[in-house]
Amino acid sequence: MEDRRVVVTGMGVLSPLGNTLCETWQGLVEGRSGAGYISGFDTSEFPVRIAAEVKNFDVTEFMDRKSARRMDPFQHYAFAASVEALRHAQLTVDESNGDHIGVVIGSGIGGIQSLSDQFKLLYDRGPDRISPFLITQMVPDLAPGQVSILLGARGPNFSPVSACATGAHAIGEAAEIVRRGQAQIMIAGGSEAPIVPIGLAGFSNMRALSTRNDEPTKASRPFDATRDGFLMGEGAGIVILEEYHSAINRGVEPLAELVGYGSTADANHITDPAPGGEGAARAMKMALDRAGLEPEDVDYLNAHGTSTPGNDRAETAAIRKTFGDAAYSLAVSSTKSMTGHMMGAAGAAEAVFAIQAIRTGCIPPTINYEHPDPECDLDYVPNVPRQADVEVAMSNAFGFGGHNVSLAFKRVA
């Protein structure tokens, strides 16, 4: 069977920089940080008091209050970004097409806000007070489940969970569903709402987070020699993946083509990347090989770039291993310097940002890059955006457990 082409026809983003793709992208090209002091709870006893939160989001713009109360915020975010992506794709899900439209949306943590709240109720007031909706608020698969129910999308539906590689895995696996002919269109991406006391304490106590409490907007500084950990973020990123001829027949101009998908495991450590970024390098090479691309064909790489010492060194080594001499002419940036680490949503939102670089000819910067690290010696597009003709862009996403994903996008010829 002929390999079916998979194109992107719509995108939606909800992030610490804005509640739409347009607002978020504007923040990125302005080099603006979405970080600040945590507003949702008292952090006075925490060693970390900063994060990149979603701001001024009103879920009742997307559903009634009764429905919203039965869902966790990560499900709210997933639905809002899906609605934006469908509008962008000029697509309505209805009886005529619902069987051919599927949903793959992942979350690394799921409904941790609801779970945290209900644990407190359990201990304070007893088991009778636990919400009958707790399980459906908590489990990660209810992000695609709720999107499917609310929209009427009856095609393949599931939720990958691979920590911070989740959103990218969702896009890659959804693309494979379209390639196999199991669906014409897939709503795919990731969503996360992890900024609650138990989440902050857990990541803080494993010493993964930046403690730059006096300068929240300077805390996320990928590839900078003074980086000291990542900044928690939240939000959602969604793409509409569509078989090429389906898009053309609908009269919709594709935004980009997903030409490569690589997925590997480090098989090394629960949190530390494999030495020299070996697993990440194999994922990038797999994506290039699947796309039929040479290293010098890639114009921009949206890095995983978490701002942790080990991750940034390993990813830089992996890029050098994969791209060889071409690594030094490749524009590499980490948008986590502005959005914070959106965890299970990061890989999906950053795939959108890579596509935006193709669409707009603008490469977003890595902000807070002030002190070069000899072990991180690539072109990280420091501090200001760059105009460039981007024909091919890649996006990396790596997760605790040794999960590695690389996606390659190309301008549609």
Residue 228 vs residues 131, 213, 360, 381: alpha-carbon distances, Å: 39, 12, 32, 20
Domain assignment of residue 256, yes or no = no
Same domain, 233 and 283: no
Domain assignment of residue 257, yes or no = no
- Return all residues near 386 (Cβ < 8 A) that are at least 6 apart: 331, 362, 363, 365
Domain assignment of residue 2, yes or no = no
Same domain, 176 and 197: yes
Q: Confirm if 363 and 390 have CB atoms less than 8 A apart.
A: yes
Q: What is the pTM of this model?
A: 0.97
Query: What pLDDT score does 3 carry?
Result: 72
- Per DSSP, the residues of 382-395 read BSS-EE---SEEEE
Residue 16 vs residues 20, 297, 342: alpha-carbon distances, Å: 10, 32, 9
**Res 2 pLDDT > 80:** no
Average pLDDT over residues 228-238: 98
We report the CATH number of the domain holding residue 375 as 3.40.47.10
Same domain, 30 and 54: yes
Same domain, 240 and 287: no
Q: What's the token pair of residue 401? A: 């457990």
Domain finish residue from 224, 250, 276: 250
Domain assignment of residue 288, yes or no = yes
Q: Give the pLDDT band of residue 1 (cuts 50, 70, 90).
A: very low
Same domain, 347 and 236: no
- Domain with 394 in it: 262-410
Coil/strand/helix, residue 14:
strand
As beta bridge partners, residue 362 has 387
Q: What is the pLDDT of residues 351-403, one digit of tens each?
A: 999 999 999 999 999 999 999 999 999 999 999 999 999 999 999 999 999 99
Q: What is the pLDDT of residues 299-338, one digit of tens each?
A: 999 999 999 999 999 999 999 999 999 999 999 999 999 9
Residue 251 vs residues 88, 244, 341, 365, 407: alpha-carbon distances, Å: 13, 11, 36, 34, 26
Same domain, 21 and 52: yes
Same domain, 351 and 392: yes
Domain assignment of residue 1, yes or no = no
Same domain, 40 and 145: yes
Percent of the chain with pLDDT over 90: 99
Domain finish residue from 225, 250, 275: 250
* Catalytic center residues: 164, 304, 341
> What total of structural domains would you count in the chain?
2
Neighbours of 128 (CB within 10 A): 7
**Measured torsion, CA atoms of residues 315, 319, 325, 328, in degrees rounded to the nearest 10:** -60
Same domain, 76 and 54: yes
Alpha carbon distance 202, 205 (integer Å): 5
Same domain, 233 and 281: no
Query: What pLDDT score does 276 carry?
Result: 95
Domain finish residue from 250, 281, 307: 250
Coil/strand/helix, residue 133:
coil
Domain assignment of residue 364, yes or no = yes
Domain assignment of residue 218, yes or no = yes
Same domain, 242 and 271: no
Q: Confirm if 217 and 38 have CB atoms less than 8 A apart.
A: no
Alpha carbon distance 195, 208 (integer Å): 14
Domain assignment of residue 112, yes or no = yes
Q: Are strands 36-37 and 362-363 parallel, antiparallel or unpaired?
A: unpaired
Q: What's the token pair of residue 357? A: 């670089």
Specify the DSSP class assigned to residue 97. Answer: T
Query: What pLDDT score does 146 carry?
Result: 98
Same domain, 267 and 238: no
Alpha carbon distance 165, 401 (integer Å): 10
Query: Residue 188's closest CA among 276, 254, 259, 107?
Result: 107
Average pLDDT along the chain: 97
Q: What is the pLDDT of residues 84-127, one digit of tens each?
A: 999 999 999 999 999 999 999 999 999 999 999 999 999 999 99
Q: What is the pLDDT of residues 122-154, one digit of tens each?
A: 999 999 999 999 999 999 999 999 999 999 999
Average pLDDT over residues 27-46: 98
Query: What pLDDT score does 4 carry?
Result: 93
Residue showing tokens 């502005």: 338
